């Protein structure tokens, strides 16, 4: 316990991505002074490099396009993909709040979305709302600007070394190194920062932390690439675990089936694979020329199928699929990750596929499209899906990369971090990928940003409602009633 504080603020937010910014906004709206600490040189982390796609059930855009959806269906999809290892109350919290949180990004932040709803793998219906240009920055920048407009301070190059605790285990503040340069843990000047109300941890996952991830899954060696930014490491997660936080699902680590071995990091290829080839094309094993997986299955299913064939597969679409997707793939072609061919035979030869086998596979797939169902592998044939036959044909190699860590610390529906005895740790909240339980064994695409928004908003609101005196003896202000929450636009309702 520190007897001297270099700085004091009411709510400290550690991490500056979607969850951290949502928490900062709601804490400021609740009247608390807010300081956001970000270890990297610029804010945003993985949020900035994400595709900005947000899953919401029962949205106005879905209704306008005649899509029937509900939080109940979204929860069922999440539990099915997660092998029912999801903590049901947390999955329910995200699904129930999703439409209102989406509306909040539009009304409060001014975010705009494409006038279409996409269907990602594992979702029963189209419920993914995409920003123009598939840009995470298109969602993050309004969050950052709103937090700043409300008076939250965002400090970069500020590495949180640890939490300051009181004798009873409550969290009073943090030990920070300011002027920090990643990844030099000794860089920067140490200071202590008091959080008079609460600390919100929103530091993301650990996909780039080779040492920590291989402890959880020894197969994820340095030879396995990651889509994450370099700072997606486990320092703060380990500090939470040292402090007695309960851990959930740390060994469930998701690989993305859309990544290409022909580029570094996430790259540009996933735009083609996710939004064009998977929904409106096919994926074939170059050794056989045949499809081997439902291209719109959940991520775990597709990754396991790819690993099962033991080498990169080829994702194929045509110009009709590109047109229907509404996506721009010029950058994919310019970088050479996606290639264009005048015929299927030419494409087959380029990837070492039997031209005859590929022709048969495409013919069979086109029969499925014409029939509106895929009895072979069970892929949903989307409304208006074209037959594969409009040259030029487009293709890229796909192979999994580490993308998301489902595990983290346990939280409750108030975003309070839970200890090993099942009790909330006073003054400590968490949101986003640093937490576990929402997604179980497999996260459905576009649910993570919604998770960050929903739980981040709750964390900020609840942290601002916690009052700790300097001895660390704190109390949480009573919840407002449902009627008051609706009037106040509380994230408990959205």
Exposure string for 51-70, b = 16+ CB within 10 A, e = fewer: bbbbbbbbbebbeeeebebb
Provide the terminal-to-terminal Cα distance of the chain, rounded to the nearest Å. Answer: 36
* Closest-CA residue to 128 (of 115, 113, 139, 117): 117
Question: Are the C-beta atoms of 155 and 35 separated by less than 8 Å?
Answer: yes
**C-alpha to C-alpha distance for 380 and 372, rounded to whole angstroms:** 8
- Per the listing, tokens 């994230």 go with 491
Domains of the chain: 7-210+403-488 (3.50.50.60), 258-399 (3.90.700.10)
Residue-level pLDDT at 3: 66
Question: Are the C-beta atoms of 206 and 247 separated by less than 8 Å?
Answer: no
To the nearest 10°, report the CA torsion of 376, 377, 382, 387: -50
At 194, list the tokens: 């008091």
CA distances from 362 to 107, 327, 430, 447, 481 (A): 45, 23, 48, 32, 58
Torsion sign across C-alpha atoms 305, 307, 310, 313: positive
Q: What pLDDT digit, counting tens, does each position of 160-189 carry?
A: 999 999 999 999 999 999 999 999 989 999
At 409, list the tokens: 């610390």
At 448, list the tokens: 């993570």
Residue-level pLDDT at 21: 98
Residue-level pLDDT at 1: 53
Q: Which residues are catalytic?
A: 299
380: left (phi over 0), alpha (psi -120 to 50) or beta: beta
Question: Are the C-beta atoms of 185 and 450 separated by less than 8 Å?
Answer: no
Residue-level pLDDT at 478: 37
**What pTM was estimated for this model as a whole?**
0.91
* Closest-CA residue to 392 (of 445, 349, 339, 351): 339
Q: What pLDDT digit, counting tens, does each position of 261-284 carry?
A: 999 999 999 999 999 999 999 999
Q: Which residues of the chain have pLDDT under 70?
A: 1-3, 468-494
Residues whose CB falls within 8 Å of the CB of residue 69, separated by 6 or more in sequence, listed in order: 57, 58, 59, 62, 125, 127
Q: What pLDDT digit, counting tens, does each position of 204-248 carry?
A: 999 999 999 999 999 999 999 999 999 999 999 999 999 999 999
Residue-level pLDDT at 4: 87
Backbone phi and psi for residue 26, each to the nearest 5 degrees, phi listed first: -70, -35
């Amino acid at each position: 316990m520190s007897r001297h504080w270099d700085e004091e603020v009411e709510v400290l937010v550690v991490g500056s991505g979607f969850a951290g910014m949502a928490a900062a906004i709601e804490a400021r709206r609740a009247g608390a002074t807010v300081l956001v600490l970000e270890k990297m040189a610029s804010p945003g982390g993985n949020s900035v490099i994400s595709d900005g796609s947000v899953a919401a059930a029962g949205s106005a855009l879905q209704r306008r396009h005649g899509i029937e959806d509900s939080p109940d269906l979204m929860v069922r999809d999440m539990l099915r993909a997660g092998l029912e290892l999801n903590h049901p109350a947390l999955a329910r919290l995200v699904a129930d709040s999703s439409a209102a949180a989406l509306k909040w990004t539009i009304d409060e932040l001014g975010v705009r979305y494409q006038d279409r709803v996409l269907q990602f793998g594992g979702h029963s219906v189209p419920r993914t709302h995409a920003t123009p240009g598939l840009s995470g920055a298109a969602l993050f920048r309004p969050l950052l600007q709103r937090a700043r407009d409300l008076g939250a301070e965002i400090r970069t190059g500020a590495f949180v070394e640890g939490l300051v605790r009181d004798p009873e285990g409550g969290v009073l503040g943090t030990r920070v190194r300011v002027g920090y340069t990643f990844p030099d843990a000794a860089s920067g000047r140490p200071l202590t920062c008091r959080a008079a109300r609460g600390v919100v941890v929103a530091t993301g996952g650990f996909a780039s932390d080779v040492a920590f991830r291989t402890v959880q899954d020894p197969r994820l060696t340095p030879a396995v690439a990651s889509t994450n930014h370099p700072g997606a490491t486990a320092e703060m997660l380990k500090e939470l675990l040292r402090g007695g936080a309960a851990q959930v699902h740390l060994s469930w680590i998701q690989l993305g089936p859309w990544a290409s071995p022909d580029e570094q990091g996430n790259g540009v290829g996933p735009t083609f694979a996710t939004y064009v080839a998977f929904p409106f094309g096919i994926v074939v094993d170059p050794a056989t020329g045949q499809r081997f997986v439902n291209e719109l299955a959940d991520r775990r299913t597709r990754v396991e199928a790819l690993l099962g064939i033991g080498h990169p597969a080829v994702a194929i679409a045509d110009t009709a699929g590109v047109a229907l997707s509404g996506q721009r793939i010029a950058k994919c072609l310019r970088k050479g990750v996606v290639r264009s061919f005048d015929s299927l035979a030419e494409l087959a030869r380029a990837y070492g596929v039997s031209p005859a086998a590929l022709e048969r596979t495409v013919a069979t797939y086109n029969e499925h499209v014409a029939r509106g169902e895929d009895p072979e592998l069970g892929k949903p044939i989307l409304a208006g899906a074209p037959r594969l036959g409009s040259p030029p044909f487009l293709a890229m190699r796909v192979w999994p990369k580490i993308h998301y860590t489902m595990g983290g610390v346990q939280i409750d529906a108030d975003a309070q971090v839970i200890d090993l005895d099942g009790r909330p740790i006073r003054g400590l909240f968490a949101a986003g990928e640093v937490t576990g339980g929402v997604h179980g064994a497999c996260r459905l695409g576009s649910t993570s940003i919604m998770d960050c928004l929903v739980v981040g908003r709750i964390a900020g609101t609840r942290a601002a409602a916690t009052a700790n005196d300097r001895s660390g003896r704190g109390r949480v202000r009573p919840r407002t009633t449902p009627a008051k929450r609706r009037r106040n636009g509380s994230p408990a309702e959205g």
